Amino acid sequence: MRHLIRTSAVAAVAVLALGACSGGSGSDEPDPAATAAGGVELVQAGSLTVCTNPPYEPFEYEEDGEIVGLDMALTGEIAADLGVELRPLNTGFDAIESGAALNARQCDVVASAITITDGRKQNIDFTDPYFDADQGVLVAEGTTVASEDDLEGLTLGVQQATTGADWVTEQGLTGTQFEDLGLQVQSLRNGQVDAVVNDVTVLEPFEGDGLTVAYVITTGEQYGFGVRKGNTALLEAANETLARVTQDGTYDALVAEYFGTAGSDASAEPTASAEPTD
């Protein structure tokens, strides 16, 4: 079950992502010469450095040695409007959602299907939401799971520092943490856990070959991209790009490419000023 924001209604959806990254300049201060259009400061001259955490298909994943996906395509549009190249960096999700990668000047933007929450807003400045999401439960075919009650007594694989992990804890269920989605699914196939909880959109590609999404947990979450707090110039530039791609059809085309469905099929229609649901 996918919930894409209807692009015709999102006049200023933004493209800054709360992603994960490794590497970077290693300096607490940007290169004074590393500026782009509009005077936006960058951690590396000529590049928009984006921290992300694959595998998380279709938002970020590796293909032919490159990190691709919807988040990378959208941040690529931001980079193009700034007149620079996109430079994705792979790092742990905890550094993404905590704002640590941004504060260490490892990257300019974090983009990794990040749910906007009040807690994360304390450390990151978010763009307008660009995607609606719910949680899902992935199990081996034949496993009888249809509701939260059926999860009692099971061991659930969760991705560390995610809202899915928070949900499992809040329900008083037993969770085992993994660094990324790929390790979660591998643990389910190996019988290390009984089920996996994560965003339903990224669990759907694993359906088949012995696995199935048992049910959807409606949470009303929304994704946003993130920048270092106070980085207003980059935040505004990203929002301008999202306004453009929603108006000129680019967003719909990218959604069709990565999801096989057009953004206009979306069920949600937030405006640019809408506050995201945490």
Angle, CA 78 vertex, CA 73 and CA 81 arms, to 5°? 125
Question: Nearest CA to 98 among 118, 76, 124, 72?
Answer: 124
The stretch 45-49 carries a mean pLDDT of 96
Helices (H) and strands (E) in the chain, counts: 9, 11
Residues 30-41 pLDDT 10s? 554 477 777 899
User: Would the pLDDT of 81 be above 50?
Assistant: yes
Cβ proximity of 193 and 143 under 8 Å: no
pTM of the model: 0.80
pLDDT of residue 8: 31
Residues 4-13 pLDDT 10s? 443 333 333 3
Q: How far apart are CA 48 and CA 112, in angstroms?
A: 15
Of the CA atoms within 13 Å of residue 191, those in its CB half-sphere come to 0
Residues 92-105 pLDDT 10s? 999 999 999 999 99
Cβ proximity of 261 and 58 under 8 Å: no
Residues 181-217 pLDDT 10s? 999 999 999 999 999 999 999 999 999 989 999 999 9
**What domains does the chain contain, in order, with CATH numbers?**
7-131+221-265 (3.40.190.10), 133-220 (3.40.190.10)
Q: Identify the band that residue 46 occupies on the pLDDT scale cut at 50, 70 and 90.
A: very high
pLDDT of residue 231: 96
Angle, CA 275 vertex, CA 274 and CA 278 arms, to 5°? 140
Residues 113-141 pLDDT 10s? 999 999 999 999 999 889 889 999 999 99
Cβ proximity of 132 and 109 under 8 Å: no
User: Would the pLDDT of 2 be above 70?
Assistant: no
Q: Identify the band that residue 110 occupies on the pLDDT scale cut at 50, 70 and 90.
A: very high
